[in-house]
Structure 1
Amino acid sequence: MKKRKSLYHGHRFRAAIISLAVRWYFRFQLSLRDIEELLFERGVVVSYETIRRWCDKFGAGFAHRVKAARRKPGRTWRVVTDQLRSYPAAKADIPELANVKHVFVKAAARVNNRAENSHQPTRERERRMRGFRDPKRTQAFLSSFGLIRQHFALKRHLLRASRYRKQLSSRFAAWREFTGIAQNPSTVS
């Protein structure tokens, strides 16, 4: 049986450093040069262009592994509507909607605020990057950014500190598994 090469085969830096740089880029609002500076502070001399290449090469793969490890959606689905008059006609035309639980909400001002706030991290990141210039690179970035960011985004305000730390530790362990890092790198040097 042929032994598979490491995901990081041919790279000069250790897997822990590459994984850390990719995670910082997609999880926090840091520029490539900020990450270069943070790594330099830890004794790792690497250019921001190398970090960009790592994010391009490994970001989508890491995001795919995060998505594959997510829980699958349940069997019950529901549709939330605002009692629009054309809705019964659409319901009659689409047979799949017959088995779906329908929840009606009263239309009020700023009902869509929750949906708009869900895009807030993306808008903040876009502002930090001074806009997205190339649609292809935008799509590549956003497909990885959302999944990796969501993997570490816990509802901290709903958890006690001990539970939060425990869940965050399990997320870091899963991240090390996704990225192919065996042990917990306590220090990166």
Structure 2
Amino acid sequence: MSSASPSYKGHRYPVATISQCVWLYFRFPLSFREVEELRLERGVVVSHETVRRRCAKFGQIYANELRRRRPRPGDTWHLDEVFIKINGQRQYLWRAVDQHGNVLDILVQPKRDTRAAVRFFRRLLKGLEYVPRVVVTDRLRSYGAAHRQVTPRVEHRTSKYLNNRAENSHQPTRQRERAMKGFRSAGRAQRFLSAFSGISPHFKPRRHLMTAAGHRAEMTIRFAIWDQITGAAAMPTAA
């Protein structure tokens, strides 16, 4: 699948520098200042504020393109919600993954009532030409109400133990939340987590199912895809 690369018109730094800053920030638990330091070690002078702006501008663009290139999600969707603290206030992070652990979407909302569940269901189905075969959730009543409104013909399973797939998918978010010492606003949390859930998993194949040589080959392919979607593949090699 081919698509037009993002426009970098008016940007001072080369594409390779921008794409690597975005990769470092969303792939590893690094601050903007730590990304600045890593680039400086390679002889590239870029301020942490520039790193922040480039991640804000291009992170979601890259994540969206990676999602477009991934295979069609599985037919079993696992949904779960977990609370996160934002400026001392409790908010809820809704997440959906398929049976293979691929993140389908996330949504930060202030509540976990029926209205919030319906909104998340509709967000998941927006733009799709199919519906899942099975939806798995915990026993929160909001899921049942949303299911009856939005996907009444889809099988709905509720169990504490069937939903480990979705619950485990929250772990990378918790790790970043600790590294970032929390989120400052719901909007920033949504923007970061939406890009993070699209970029970070791309560089995390199921390593435990691969040989060392197989893992290296798969990562080579994934880096090549990253260069294609960022436009770095068409540019001269940079530091």
TM-score range, shorter chain: 0.7 to 0.9
Which residue in 2 is equivalent to 1:77? Answer: 133
Equivalenced residue count is: 177
Q: 1:113 to 1:72 in 2, by over 3 A?
A: closer
Q: 1:61 to 1:29 in 2, by over 3 A?
A: same
Q: What amino acid maps onto 2:54 in structure 1?
A: W
SS in 1 for 2:226: helix
Which residue in 1 is equivalent to 2:209? Answer: 158
Please say which structure displays the higher CA radius of gyration: 1
Question: How far off its partner does 1:149 sit?
Answer: 0.5
SS in 2 for 1:182: helix
- The superposition leaves residues 11-47 of structure 1 with CA deviations (integer Å, 9 ceiling, x where unpaired) of 1111001000001101111111110000000000110
Q: What amino acid maps onto 1:129 in structure 2?
A: M
Q: For structure 1, list consecutive stretches of 5 or more residues without a partner in the other structure.
A: none
Equivalent residues in 2 for 1:1-189 (5 A)? 7-73=7-73, 74=75, 77-80=133-136, 97-98=152-153, 100=154, 113-182=164-233, 188-189=238-239
Cα distance in 2 for partners of 1:65, 1:114 equals 24
Q: 1:28 to 1:5 in 2, by over 3 A?
A: closer
Is the CA contact (8 Å cut-off) linking 1:176 and 1:184 kept in structure 2?
Answer: no
Question: How far off its partner does 1:164 sit?
Answer: 0.7
Is the CA contact (8 Å cut-off) linking 2:136 and 2:163 kept in structure 1?
Answer: no
Larger displacement relative to structure 2 (6-15 or 168-177): 6-15
Question: How far off its partner does 1:183 sit?
Answer: 5.0
Question: How far off its partner does 1:153 sit?
Answer: 1.1
Cα distance in 1 for partners of 2:48, 2:150 equals 52
Q: For structure 2, list consecutive stretches of 5 or more residues without a partner in the other structure.
A: 76-129
Cα distance in 2 for partners of 1:40, 1:81 equals 46
Q: Which has the higher helix share?
A: 1
Q: What amino acid maps onto 1:145 in structure 2?
A: F
Q: What amino acid maps onto 2:57 in structure 1?
A: K
- The superposition leaves residues 83-116 of structure 1 with CA deviations (integer Å, 9 ceiling, x where unpaired) of x8x9xx98xx679555x567686x66xx655433
Is the CA contact (8 Å cut-off) linking 1:78 and 1:102 kept in structure 2?
Answer: yes
Cα distance in 1 for partners of 2:152, 2:202 equals 31
Is the CA contact (8 Å cut-off) linking 2:5 and 2:230 kept in structure 1?
Answer: no
Is the CA contact (8 Å cut-off) linking 2:21 and 2:35 kept in structure 1?
Answer: yes
Q: What amino acid maps onto 2:7 in structure 1?
A: L
Is the CA contact (8 Å cut-off) linking 2:136 and 2:157 kept in structure 1?
Answer: yes
